[in-house]
Copies of this chain bind each other. A is one copy, B any other.
Amino acid sequence: MKNSIDQLPARQQQALKTRQKLLKAGKEVFLENGFQKATISQVIKKAETGYGTAYVYFKNKDELFITLMEDLMNQFYKVAEMPFKPQAKEVAYENIKRQVRLFLQLALDERNMMKVVKEAIGVSPEIEEKWYGIRERFIERISVDIRYAQSQKLAKENLDPVLTARGWFYSNEMFMWELVMNEEKYQIDDVIVNLTRMYTGGLYE
């Protein structure tokens, strides 16, 4: 247990504890009030620290929230980094379905936090940038898969891999937000099946 909190000098221990208190209070305040209505004053009050203390550990509200998002965002990166090498059309279809489910389920498992994330993306350019990073990672990964499928003559070659990946991810992302914001409007399985059918086969006979 090297570097564990309880072998640090008491002063650093205290500092870490203060930071943790602020993070915990921050999460509570954000979940209760949403991003815009949350204020530093509410956070320091809940954390029982002085006003200036919050600014010692975080540049501003955005930075505090970014720190809180980090874990969740890393989970998205993990999902984005799972490439797959489809063999036949039927295998591809199942693989794609599984990926979509992983993505949507992750968002739904952290539904309350994701609601705040959505709001924060709209308000803070820094946070928007973070999300765009994740989006581009997904798109890049999907482009690779499409190129591979094309090289195997499984996928149509007159489609641009990057544009196709982008359009496909956009649908997924927007359905994700829709499910996050309106829990009971759609069945997740219906969404997954329909998305995947559309993606692999298109609308027209």
Residues of chain A at the chain B interface (Cβ within 8 Å): 36, 89, 92-93, 119, 121-123, 128, 146, 149, 153-156, 158-160, 163-164, 166-168, 170-171, 173-175, 178, 186, 190-191, 194-195, 197-205
A197 cross-chain contacts in B, Cβ below 8 A: 156, 158-159
**Neighbour of A160 across the interface among B89, B153, B155, B190, CB < 8 A:** B190
A160-B190, A167-B175, A194-B164 in contact; A204/B155 too (CB < 8 A)? Answer: yes
**Neighbour of A204 across the interface among B89, B186, B195, B204, CB < 8 A:** B89
Bound together, the chains give a CA A198 to CA B204 distance in angstroms of: 10
Q: Are the C-beta atoms of B167 and A194 separated by less than 8 Å?
A: yes
A204 cross-chain contacts in B, Cβ below 8 A: 89, 92-93, 149, 154-156, 200-201
Q: Are the C-beta atoms of A203 and B164 separated by less than 8 Å?
A: yes
Q: Are the C-beta atoms of B190 and A156 separated by less than 8 Å?
A: no
A170-B174, A170-B175 in contact; A155/B203 too (CB < 8 A)? Answer: yes
Q: What would be 30 A-B contacts, judged by CB atoms less than 8 Å apart?
A: A92-B204, A122-B122, A146-B203, A149-B203, A153-B205, A154-B204, A154-B205, A155-B203, A156-B203, A156-B205, A158-B197, A159-B197, A159-B203, A160-B190, A163-B194, A164-B198, A164-B203, A167-B174, A167-B194, A167-B198, A170-B170, A170-B173, A170-B175, A173-B174, A199-B202, A199-B203, A200-B203, A200-B204, A201-B204, A202-B202
Bound together, the chains give a CA A178 to CA B173 distance in angstroms of: 14
A155-B205, A170-B170, A174-B170 in contact; A163/B149 too (CB < 8 A)? Answer: no
